[in-house]
């Protein structure tokens, strides 16, 4: 099933692929679509003539660009194409909302997602990868120490090692031995 996205500024997000072929399975090209060739149904409602546009891509592939009014209802969208010289083609899609910055969808906005990531308590995160963003940021926020040429960065409890790294030292340079931002 194809998912169509509503509340998008670009109509390209409302394109439904149609593959037109004849009875022997060969692609049918050069079709022109008029009222009645495509029937659209939203969520099982009565079929209506299409309001969008059809463009040929090639080799029997066409794109039906749904009109905004055809994707203004969440749920299933059914498109049936009946065209002389080609087999009947059925397409189903699910119309889903897309969150927009500042609202507009049923899901979280981009700002809400960013805020949740930036304010999440790291003690709640489990299963992090060795080279994850979390482990990189731990060096900036958590306790770390050096001993015998090894840097140890701790987890949020400031005791359990999160990761270690070998250090290159220079006897003539000032030595940093620890950092605890608590």
- Between the CA of residue 92 and those of 67, 75, 103, 110, what are the distances in Å? 16, 10, 27, 29
Query: 15-58, pLDDT tens digit by residue?
Result: 889 999 999 999 999 999 998 999 999 988 999 999 999 999 99
CATH 2.60.40 fits domain 2-96: yes
- Tell me whether strands 53-58 and 2-5 are parallel, antiparallel or unpaired: unpaired
pLDDT greater than 80 at residue 104? no
Check pLDDT > 60 for residue 106.
no
- Domain map (residue ranges) of the chain: 2-96, 127-179
Q: Are 16 and 57 spatial neighbours (Cβ–Cβ below 8 Å)?
A: no
The model's pLDDT over 156-172, given as tens digits with 9 standing for 90+, comes to: 999 999 999 998 878 88
Give residue 170's pLDDT: 81
The confidence score (pLDDT) of residue 12 equals: 61
- Residue 103 pLDDT > 50: no
- In this prediction, residue 22 carries a pLDDT of 95
Output the pLDDT for position 2. 65
> CB neighbours (10 Å) of residue 81?
22
The model's pTM is: 0.53
């Amino acid at each position: 099933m194809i998912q169509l996205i509503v509340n998008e500024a670009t109509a390209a997000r409302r394109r439904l692929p149609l593959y037109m072929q004849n009875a022997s399975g060969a692609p049918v090209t050069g079709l022109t679509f008029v009222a009645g060739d495509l029937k659209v149904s939203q969520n099982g409602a009565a079929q209506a003539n299409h309001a969008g546009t059809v463009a040929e891509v090639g080799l029997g592939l066409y794109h039906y660009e749904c009109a905004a009014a055809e994707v203004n209802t969440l749920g299933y969208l059914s498109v049936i194409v009946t065209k002389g010289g080609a087999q009947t083609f059925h397409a189903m899609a699910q119309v889903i909302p897309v969150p927009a910055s500042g609202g507009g969808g049923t899901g979280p906005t981009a700002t809400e997602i960013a805020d949740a990531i930036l304010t999440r308590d790291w003690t709640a995160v489990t299963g992090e990868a060795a080279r994850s963003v979390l482990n990189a940021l731990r060096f900036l926020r958590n306790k770390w120490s050096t001993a015998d040429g090894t840097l140890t960065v701790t987890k949020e409890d400031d005791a359990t090692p999160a990761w270690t790294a070998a250090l290159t030292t220079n006897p003539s340079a000032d030595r940093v031995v620890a950092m605890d931002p608590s």
